[in-house]
Structure 1
Amino acid sequence: MNRTLEHILPNVQKPARYTGGEYNAVVKDKKQIKTRFALCFPDTYEIGMSNLGCRILYGVMNQRSDVWCERCYAPWGDMEEEMRREGLLLYGLESGDAIADFDIIGFSLGYEMAYTNVLNMLDLAGVPLRAADRPDLAPMIVAGGTCCYNPEPLAPFIDLFILGEGEEVTLEYIDLYQQANEDGWSKEEFLQEAAKIPGIYVPSLYEVTYRPDGVVEAVTPKGETPATVTKRIVQDMNKAYFPVKTIIPSTEIVHDRVMLELFRGCIRGCRFCQAGYAYRPVRNRDPKLLAEYGKAACEDSGYQEMTLSSLSSTDYPCLMELCDDLLDYCSPRDIGLSLPSLRADTFSMSLMERLQRVRKGGLTFAPEAGTQRLRDAINKNLREEDLLQSCRTCFSGGWNGVKLYFMLGLPTETDEDVLGIADLARKVYQTWREYTPNRARGVRITVSTSWFVPKPHTAFQWDAQIPVEEYQRRVDLLREALRRDKSITYNWHDPETSYLEAIFSRGDRRLADVLEYAWNHGAKLDSWSEYFDFQRWMDALSACGLDGDFYAHRVREKDEVFPWAVPSVGVSRAFLWHERELCYQSVTTPDCRTRCSGCGANHLLTGGGRCG
């Protein structure tokens, strides 16, 4: 271990975050390596180590004998302070070497409030923030993840963005990088060639112009650069890499368990859900293969909990078969099996009986809206009777806790819809009273609301976020309606981070100046309440001459040019607009398994297959 690091660690919280050396971490001989890759997660070790996508990419790259991928996480404030005082540059956990000396530095972007961490990590590494100030081929700064479907606020800082699933495209651009290195290409030559790889967006190869009112006028490709870059997908999930041998953390992390990815995509068409559109089309994994992965991962890691992961686990066609296979293994070993993504209309007695064979956790359902009209408007395709029937099932089976998730501020929402949340929660409580075998245990019903954020590439990408004052009024309305219900706990999301999320999720390149200003004035770890300062962001917007409401609270015109005009999730804009029109008529669209709605995502499958 670096002597400076040895000197620092006794002075910081959770030093195991920074030491590396975990079981299954990959260490290679640097002399045998062509390309060194720093896989950076712009949040703390506990959050980053819980990310399945990073575990997959780590394994995919390290399968190659000529590539060494190391991990790097955002240090907590105490560690950063020590590093800056001692002059210790940000380093890879496996080798302890400064990541500034690596060939490629890659960031995983899943949340807009982590953007300042990207800047802070580059600065801690001694790497210039702006791509224009990095003329050399190395280090090449890349980024992937769901935020890259609108990468514009970070565009001036990143050399290239990966759209979609990274298992295959990552190895393709690494091959190209090795060729560029061996043949002495300039950075510009490399980026020109990289832009020809499907799924890679090089922001410096596009010029953005604006109208006098601040709306984007055009996004114009330079030279032969493609006008649209469509996401990459893994065609066959049975052939996709799965991290059976995964790194076992040295300290407690958020999701300390085996995570089995059942499938990618979602058959549902919830109009607010970016993930539901971005991960289309649906591609399932074989249940026998999943069972093998799960058992092998538990044997290797010693984990006592397994989670079946997807956007909607109960939509997996072979769920019962898989659960039976896994439970035969888990039950005698006291390994917990959990299904975090349950739909209230597909939770059944047979599924409950299976889950009861192992440790019984809480159940979570997401009705999203309090009335049938609004659930139809957002295409949730969930009936009140379905939710209550699922609650009858779980309460009669001995569960005494249910969490219910909703959103406030959805398009077309009225006060009646807000009060409908309280009404639905009370009906769940009455269901418990009628069906529980043991009232003496009591019940825990938790209602949680978040503030709706309209996202790019969804049916609501044209819609406005409601003003903060209106959001707070609706929170107060619901809180008052639930005040006398002692068995119902109400939690709500703070509006300040959701407002910034709305700004940056649909923002343009001018927001890069806001990011840099805020970072220069101390912004970092903004998803943590200990560090978040809303006024600092308001000052940054003001200093850069931009209005946050322009991005968050403005309805877009039908044909407006969006900042995210180049990235494509494979779903047509015409389809999304039609879905928005159906919302305002409270008309639903069937799920993809019932009827293909022609969104366009099937064309991403080789041979034009059918999703689901």
Structure 2
Amino acid sequence: MIKKEVEKILQYVQKPARYVGGELNSVVKNPDEVALRYAFCFPDTYEIGMSHLGMKILYGLVNARDDAWCERVFAPDTDMEELMRKNNIPLFALESGDYIKDFDIIGFTLQYELSYTNVLNMLDLAGIKLFSKDRTELTPIICCGGPCACNPEPIADFFDIVFLGDGEETTEQVLDLLKYCKENGLSKHDFLLKAKDIRGIYVPSFYEPSYNDDGTLRELKPINGAPKKVKKAVVADMDTCYYPDKFVVPFINIVHDRAVEEIFRGCIRGCRFCQAGFTYRPIREKSVETINKQSKALIDSTGYDELSLCSLSTSDHSCVNEMLTSLIDWTAKDNINLSLPSLRVDNFSDELVEKLNMVRKSGLTFAAEAGTQRLRDVINKNISEEEILHTCTKAFDNGWTTVKLYFMMGLPTETMEDIEGIANLGMN
């Protein structure tokens, strides 16, 4: 429900639908009937945050519990933030319109380093003290997770706990613990002492840093019985792991406005530049049966006419052809566009092309990464220029009119010759 003070300023912002909630499949509960309120914060605008699969998974996971209510929070754009500050309106959650400073747990997903300052700005806008040491009450617990949490030290002073690795099982354990601490009148310190024993949970305040003369970190000394090394949480079985059967459907266009099915985590490749390849290992696949069942449920509950298969390298699924056959059986009949991002140049097989020719064509994306063979060898991207050109030719010969190639700039040992190679390869 939109608060009156928020409703009054919406007429002055560019996209008011970012801030009103009420979308199809959004979850509304009675706050008096839940033990925990969770604000899931994406430190960027609505259109970007609503495209994030991790938020969709954890939003559904928490709301599947009878004792908890997860609501979405996004960074307001500059026009909305200016009006909120001018009218003393704190940061609020979309589902209820309530101010998040009164929630029990506030979680941020860290997808890229440039969002770090947005995290602090959102906490400030919410009226919450920035430093963990200054927040002495049990709630709200301020936490973070995501790929950038693999090195949380630059922002460790601001978070009470950090989620490392997969978040599904760890989130459940943290919520159970916080509920127990609230019901038994335990303190924030008591909560942190117990949280440190959960695999995948890092408590920054339980480590004392020491530094070298040049200011670099020498040691993080554990205290209060904290482990010397924190092991990341890993979901072992993707078939039994929670996955939502519905997504919130936005009122406005977002970056990735479609149904998304995660088909596996991890990657069989060893590209040296790829943070995600190391962060999400080991590789864990979903079965074809699970992929098909979950995909159908999402299309039925959202009304989307496009299904994207999500992974670090879609065509590396061990049963990719069987999977596509299963999906095509119903997507072609229902006129659903099947999108396969993150394809490998070196396994774009004739059989895969044959399967893709049976569905509505979308764009193809291949990651070449570097413009010269020398630099591709340096980063362990084991594809040749001949393979790149052969794959693009095969795509054009089979009816595709566009092919997208990904390249990176700033790789180690890069020279201007490598940069020029990007243009040269594109012109071939």
Give the TM-score, by structure 2 length.
Answer: 0.97
Q: Distance in 1 between matches of 2:90 and 2:325?
A: 50
CA distance in 2, matches of 1:116, 1:89: 17
Aligned match of 1:184: 185
Structure 2 CA distance, aligned partners of 1:216 and 1:4? Answer: 46
Distance 2:28 2:416 in 1: 58
Give the structure with higher Rg (CA): 1
> What SS does the aligned partner of 2:154 have?
helix
Letter in 2 for 1:103: D
3-state DSSP of counterpart to 2:106? strand
Name 2:164's counterpart in structure 1: 163
Residues 286-334 of structure 1 deviation map (CA, whole Å, 9 limit, x = unaligned):
1111111111211111101010110000101111111122122112222
Tell me the CA shift for residue 365 of structure 1: 1.4
Structure 1 residues 76-128: Cα deviation after superposition (integer angstroms, max 9, x where no partner)? 11111121222222111111111111111111110111111111111111111
Q: 1:301 maps to which residue?
A: 302
- Distance (Å, rounded) in 2 between the aligned partners of 1:135 and 1:365: 49
- 1:471-509 C-alpha deviation (Å, 9 max, x unpaired): xxxxxxxxxxxxxxxxxxxxxxxxxxxxxxxxxxxxxxx
Bigger shift: residues 405-414 or 290-299: 405-414
User: Quick one: distance in 2 between partners of 1:257 and 1:401?
Assistant: 20
Name 2:194's counterpart in structure 1: 193
Matched with 2:314 is 313
Partner of 1:237: 238
One-letter identity of the residue aligned with 1:93? L
Cα RMSD of the aligned pairs, angstroms, is 1.4
Q: Paired residue for 2:126?
A: 125
SS in 2 for 1:332: coil
Any idea what the Cα deviations from partners look like across 1:373-406, whole Å, max 9, x if unmatched? 3222211111222212211211111223222222
Contact 1:156 1:203 in 2 (8 A): yes
TM-score normalised per structure 1: 0.68
Q: Deviations over 1:525-570 (max 9, x none)?
A: xxxxxxxxxxxxxxxxxxxxxxxxxxxxxxxxxxxxxxxxxxxxxx
Contact 2:338 2:362 in 1 (8 A): no
Q: Which residue identity does 1:156 align to in structure 2? A: D
In structure 2, the partner of 1:112 is 113
Q: Distance in 2 between matches of 1:230 and 1:23?
A: 38
Aligned residue type for 2:216:
V
User: Is the 2:92–2:126 Cα contact (8 Å) retained in structure 1?
Assistant: yes
**Structure 1 residue aligned with 2:33:** 32
Pair 1:77 & 2:78 matched: yes
Name which of structure 1's ranges 73-82 and 181-190 shifts more when overlaid on structure 2: 181-190
Q: Secondary structure at the match of 2:252?
A: coil
- The code of the aligned residue for 1:232 comes to A
The answer to whether structure 1 residue 175 and structure 2 residue 176 are counterparts is yes
8 A contact 1:348–1:393 mirrored in 2:
no
Gaps of at least 5 residues in structure 2 are none
Give the number of aligned pairs: 427
Q: What's the secondary structure of 1:277's corresponding residue?
A: helix
1:348 Cα deviation (Å)?
Answer: 2.0
Which residue type is aligned with residue 151 of structure 2? N
In the other structure, the counterpart of 1:447 is none
Q: Give the letter aligned to residue 424 of structure 1.
A: L
411-420 vs 282-291, which moves further: 411-420
Cα shift at 1:230: 1.3
Match of 1:88 in 2: 89
Which stretch shifts more, 260-269 or 416-425? 416-425
Secondary structure of 1:36's aligned partner: strand
1:595 aligned partner: none
CA–CA separation in structure 1 for the residues paired with 2:184 and 2:203: 21
Q: Distance in 2 between matches of 1:36 and 1:71?
A: 11
Structure-2 separation of matches of 1:55 and 1:217: 38
Counterpart CA distance in 2 for 1:251 and 1:124 is 24
Query: For structure 1, which segment, 410-419 or 293-302, has the greater mean C-alpha deviation from structure 2 after superposition?
Result: 410-419
Tell me whether 1:378 sits opposite 2:379 in the alignment. Answer: yes
Q: Identify the residue that residue 44 of structure 1 maps to in structure 2.
A: 45
**CA-CA distance at 1:266 after TM superposition:** 0.2
Report whether the alignment pairs 1:254 with 2:288: no
SS in 2 for 1:317: coil
How far apart, in 2, do the equivalents of 1:415 and 1:3 lie? 57
Q: What's the CA shift for 1:212?
A: 1.1
- 1:324 aligns to what SS in structure 2? helix
Aligned-pair CA distance for 1:350 = 2.4
Alignment partner of 1:8 is 2:34: no
Give me the whole-angstrom Cα distance separating, in 1, the residues matched to 2:204 and 2:396. 53
One-letter amino acid matched to 1:125: A
Deviation at 1:225, TM superposition (A): 0.9
The residue number in structure 2 matching 1:342 is 343
Aligned runs of 1:547-586 on 2, under 5 Å? none
> How many angstroms does 1:415 deviate by?
4.3
- State the distance in 1 between where 2:9 and 2:76 align: 13
Residue in 2 aligned with 1:501? none
* Partner SS, residue 408 of structure 2: strand
Where relative contact order (Cα < 8 A, 6+ residues apart) is larger, the structure is 1
User: Could you tell me which residue of structure 2 aligns to residue 387 of structure 1?
Assistant: 388
* Superposition map of 1:416-495 within 5 A: 416-427=417-428
CA distance in 2, matches of 1:425, 1:79: 41
| Matches of 1:401 and 1:245, distance apart in 2 | 31
Check the 8 A contact 2:193/2:224 in 1, yes or no.
Answer: no
TM-superposed CA distance for 1:413, in Å, is 3.2
Note the C-alpha offset of 1:418: 3.5
How far 1:25 moved relative to its partner?
A: 0.9
Deviation per CA, 1:321-372: give whole Å up to 9, x if none: 1112212211222211111111100112222232233332222211112233
Q: Distance in 2 between matches of 1:20 and 1:416?
A: 50
1:228 alignment counterpart: 229
Partner of residue 325, structure 2: 324
- Between the aligned partners of 2:423 and 2:194, the Cα distance in structure 1 is 56
Instruction: Give the whole-Å Cα distance in 2 for the aligned partners of 1:108 and 1:174.
Output: 17
Query: CA offsets, 1:144-164, max 9 Å, x none?
Result: 111101111111111110001
Corresponding residue for 1:208? 209
Whole-angstrom distance in 1 between the partners of 2:425 and 2:4: 59
Structure 1 residue 64 corresponds to structure 2 residue 70 = no
Moved more, 236-245 or 381-390: 381-390
Is the Cα–Cα contact under 8 Å of residues 270 and 378 in structure 1 kept in the other structure?
A: yes
Secondary structure of 2:424's aligned partner: helix
Three-state SS of the structure 1 residue aligned to 2:345 is: coil
Q: Which amino acid aligns with 1:128?
A: K
